[in-house]
């Protein structure tokens, strides 16, 4: 794991910017939308026009309007921040970074500007700058679980696991309902080899989500994966139910069907596992793990030719992954198949 990027669904990071975790994105936007100084009605109307120009990519009109807004009395830092945020909302990462930098140059001290600037730098593939901005956001507003989560998540993505832990602990201390931070803590412990420590964090993420109907099956997949590392029959049964729930939430998730198949294999139910593993391969043919389990299933069912074909497919999939210098297609981490 020395040079590869994470293969866990993050937070996540979400829709993954790396993907911003869906529970955090509204919170981030809400806090960014409420600067310390309130805006007048006329100012808001001007910002609404600015947003419309951003949507239609009329950049010359945007810049002309922003100067007019400032002339009419809006502090430059606030005007530039609003424009940077508008560009963030429409995935204009370089323009967002430029205007957020201008906002901070005009007036330092806005933790939300640093947070959004970190997001822009992440998308621009500038991780060191992203780390710096997220950490600055934390220093300016240490009680914000969103700021702490993004700082920890960035360090996690940059493979700085020990450093990530302190920020993620800070996030869950500030907000014990931050499911994304619990997931990131679990992921960090997995990559440190502490599988036993990862399980309670993944359980907490699932617990926080409760009986809601999440659109992202990630927390269920995380916990299912960890439970299947052992051979406790009760945990295998729990892993199976979690994976089934994940597959119901997102039928197109190859990882969910793979985990259903793997759980069934752990229970000695090879015949039932086959269709799940076949579906996982159909959804994501570059993931080697379903090929491995499917070869085992065919062996147990006495279908030698099919087992041989799956082993060949497994070898080819791993070869392609090694040639590309990347992980083999799954959102799950390296593990025994």
pLDDT tens string, the chain, 337 residues long: the values are 333 333 333 333 333 334 445 445 555 655 555 554 456 788 899 999 999 999 999 999 999 999 999 999 999 999 999 999 999 999 999 999 999 999 999 999 999 999 999 999 999 999 999 999 999 999 999 999 999 999 999 999 999 999 999 999 999 999 999 999 999 999 999 999 999 999 999 999 999 988 666 678 999 999 999 999 999 999 999 999 999 999 999 999 999 999 999 999 999 999 999 999 999 999 999 999 999 999 999 999 999 999 999 999 999 998 888 776 544 434 455 555 6
pLDDT at 24: 55
Contact 167, 146 (CB under 8 A): no
pLDDT at 210: 80
pLDDT at 214: 67
Angle between the 145-157 and 127-140 helix axes, to the nearest 10 degrees? 160
pLDDT at 319: 87
- Can you give the pTM of this predicted structure? 0.82
Domain annotation for the chain: domains and CATH numbers:
217-337 (1.25.40.10)
pLDDT at 4: 35
């Amino acid at each position: 794991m020395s040079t590869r990027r994470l293969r866990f669904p993050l937070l996540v990071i979400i829709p993954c910017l790396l993907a911003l975790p869906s529970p955090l994105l509204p919170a981030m936007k809400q806090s960014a939308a409420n600067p310390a100084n309130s805006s007048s009605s006329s100012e808001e109307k001007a910002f609404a026009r600015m947003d419309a120009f951003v949507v239609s990519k009329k950049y010359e009109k945007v810049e002309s309007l922003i100067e007019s807004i400032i002339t009419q009395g809006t502090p430059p830092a606030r005007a530039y921040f609003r424009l940077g945020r508008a560009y963030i909302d429409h995935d204009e990462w370089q323009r967002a970074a430029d205007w957020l930098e201008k906002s901070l140059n005009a007036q330092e001290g806005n933790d939300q500007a640093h947070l959004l600037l970190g997001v822009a730098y992440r998308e621009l593939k500038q991780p060191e700058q992203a780390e710096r901005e997220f950490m600055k956001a934390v220093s300016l507003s240490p009680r914000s679980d969103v700021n702490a989560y993004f700082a920890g998540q960035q360090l996690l993505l940059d493979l700085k696991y020990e450093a990530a832990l302190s920020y993620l602990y800070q996030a869950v201390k500030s907000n014990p309902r931050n499911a994304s931070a619990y997931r990131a803590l679990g992921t960090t412990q997995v990559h440190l080899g502490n599988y036993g420590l990862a399980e309670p964090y993944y359980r907490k993420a699932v617990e926080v989500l409760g009986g809601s109907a999440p659109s992202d099956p990630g927390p269920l997949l995380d916990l299912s994966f960890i439970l299947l590392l052992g051979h406790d029959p009760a945990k295998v049964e729990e892993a199976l139910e979690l994976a089934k729930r994940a597959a119901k939430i997102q039928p197109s998730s190859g990882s969910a069907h793979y985990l259903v198949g793997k759980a069934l294999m752990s229970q000695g139910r090879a015949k039932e596992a086959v269709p799940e593993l076949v579906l996982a391969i159909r959804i994501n043919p570059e993931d080697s793990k379903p090929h491995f389990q499917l070869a085992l299933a065919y062996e147990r069912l006495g279908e030698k030719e099919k087992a041989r074909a799956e082993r060949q497919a497994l070898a080819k999939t791993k070869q392609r992954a090694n040639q590309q210098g990347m992980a083999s297609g799954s959102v799950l981490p390296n593990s025994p198949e």
